[in-house]
Amino acid sequence: MPPGSLTSVGIGDDAAVVTAPSGSVVAAVDMVIEGRHFRRDWSTAYDVGVKAAARSLADIAAMGAVNTALLVALAAPGSLPARWATDLADGLAAEATRAGAGIVGGDTARADSITISVTALGDLEGRAPVLRSGTHPGDVIAVSAPLGRSAAGLALLTAAVPVPDSAPLSALVTAHVRPAPRYEAGPEAARLGATAMIDTSDGLLSDLAHIAAASAVRLNIETPALPAAPALREAAANLLPADLAADPGSSGPRNEDRAAELVREWMLTGGEDHTLVATFPPGTPLPPGWQVIGEVLLGTGVTVDGTPHPGPAGWQHFR
């Protein structure tokens, strides 16, 4: 595995030594577990490695830090093919490299099921961390990338209906099994003066609720402003016919309404996109890739077009 450029002692001793140029280190740990975060019939081992790395790497980016190093603990059954483990390592290393980090430590042990625990380390380059608690009424809310991709991909995977073999739909499935967060948007937001930030691991509304609580404000989302990932409408249209089969009287227009609603739900509550959502002082010029989706107000909680969102705000993992 590639050591990061900031590693002075890598794998092979009792511990790694990673330089921390700005005198502090940012650290986060996250797990992926077979049957809960991935299925071996849907994801390759390489995919699982990418997803396991991305979850932790995105947490570092959400602090406004650059990633420097990963440490990986793998618990797996003795029956796991050696090839699966090396492919997993390749996926972890590839995603670490994409984020500018190296894999510097690891541990493996036998267990009944596959659990991958990834600790990511990062550096703030001298900046203050962007916390969840720093936003104020008047700030704008913006996202670093389109929303709903992973949720749509999961819906396609779980659908009982045959889905056309189209490139845009395949891209959604890929986004679910192998997320590709835009990590550099984290330090970019910090440099732009972001006042709060989080990544959408549990779903936009659910994650925004953490910022609302930590900052003691209300966050209002304007749904017309939400940037849908490409092909969400196509995915929804392909999923709905089976859904409506029990109601043969349904008409075309009604189907279109329901497709729009499904897309909206994916964007508001779908998890695992690892899109960054940040708040900025009003008037902050945002570079390409960022999209304003709402504003920070006096009050508490999260509202959608001015009203509370009905139904669960959060992401339900597939078990």
Q: Between 19 and 223, whose beta carbon lies closer to a copy of itself?
A: 19
Q: Between 30 and 265, whose beta carbon lies closer to a copy of itself?
A: 30
Token pair listed for 175 = 């986004």
Output the smallest distance, CB 45 to a copy of itself, in A. 18
What SS3 state is found at 42?
coil
What SS3 state is found at 140?
strand
Whether 54 and 200 have beta carbons less than 8 Å apart is answered as: no
Q: Between 96 and 173, whose beta carbon lies closer to a copy of itself?
A: 96
Token pair listed for 27 = 């650290």
Q: What is the 3 state secondary structure string of 254-279?
A: HHHHHHHHHHHHHHHHCCCCCCEEEE
Measured over all CA atoms, what is the biggest interatomic distance in the chain, rounded to whole angstroms? Answer: 68
- DSSP-derived letter for residue 317 is -
Output the smallest distance, CB 7 to a copy of itself, in A. 10
Output the smallest distance, CB 192 to a copy of itself, in A. 18
Q: Between 104 and 152, whose beta carbon lies closer to a copy of itself?
A: 104
- DSSP-derived letter for residue 70 is E
Q: List all residues 6 or more positions away from 35 whose beta carbon is below 8 Å from its beta carbon.
A: 113, 319
Interaction site with a copy of itself (CB under 8 A): 8-9, 12-21, 23-31, 33, 36-37, 59-60, 62-63, 65, 69, 71-73, 75, 104-107, 109-113, 115, 117, 119-122, 124, 129, 131-133, 197-199, 214, 319
Q: Between 107 and 257, whose beta carbon lies closer to a copy of itself?
A: 107
Output the smallest distance, CB 165 to a copy of itself, in A. 33
Output the smallest distance, CB 125 to a copy of itself, in A. 13
> Which among 147, 11, 119 is positioned nearest to 60, based on CA atoms?
119
Output the smallest distance, CB 28 to a copy of itself, in A. 4
Q: Between 1 and 26, whose beta carbon lies closer to a copy of itself?
A: 26
Per the DSSP assignment, residues forming a β-bridge with 141 are 279, 294
